[in-house]
Amino acid sequence: MSPVSSPASRRALSLRLLSVGLVVAAALVATPAPAATPATKYGTQIVVKVNKIRLAHDRARLKRDRCLQRFANRHAKAMADARSMFHQDDITVMVKCGLSSYGENVAYGMFTSKQMVDLWMTSKKGHKQNILYGGFRITGAAARHADGVWWATQVFGRR
């Protein structure tokens, strides 16, 4: 390409660059963000509700973690596909996510995300302890809907 030397050439180049920039900007603005699915919203609402409870009990807010989120997604899907509630292998999650501590809450039923967390808080099986354990700092939560039933997993951890 030859150097731009005349003012007319520079103006023409500037106009071309400006028009390309406007086309790129319009394409970026016109591209809608992917809509959150009901299952994604359900998982997010679990984390929001759990963090409200933790803050009310003077515990640190849990941050979403990609690795834990991946395991929560896979596990909620596995339970929904099997139509059976079960826990995943904690050692696998701890090793793959580099955790020093780990906990997991699972549940299923025809409940809202708020009701699901409320059930965990009244459970006698350690769910409340997972939610309130001060050592946890990160989380992932997911849900899947199958045959009118929600299958939910929340994974807790600390590195």
Q: How confident is the model at residue 23 (pLDDT cuts 50, 70, 90)?
A: very low
Mean pLDDT of all residues belonging to the chain: 86
Interval 50-108: pLDDT, tens: 999 999 999 999 999 999 999 999 999 999 999 999 999 999 999 999 999 999 999 99
pLDDT of residue 124: 84
114 Cβ contact list (under 8 Å, min separation 6): 45, 49
Q: How far is Cα of residue 110 from the mean position of the Cα atoms in its chain?
A: 21
User: Which two structure tokens, joined as six digits, stand for 62?
Assistant: 């849990």
SS (H, E, C) 94-118: HHHHCCCEEEEEEEEECCCHHHHHH
Spatial separation of the C-alpha atoms in residues 62 and 44, rounded to whole Å = 12
* C-alpha closest to that of 75 among 54, 99, 57, 96: 96
Closest CA to 46 of 139, 137, 114: 114
Phi-psi region of 121 (alpha: psi -120 to 50; beta: other; left: phi over 0): alpha
Average pLDDT of span 42-50: 97
Tell me if the pTM is above 0.85: no
| CA 29/CA 119 separation, integer angstroms | 42
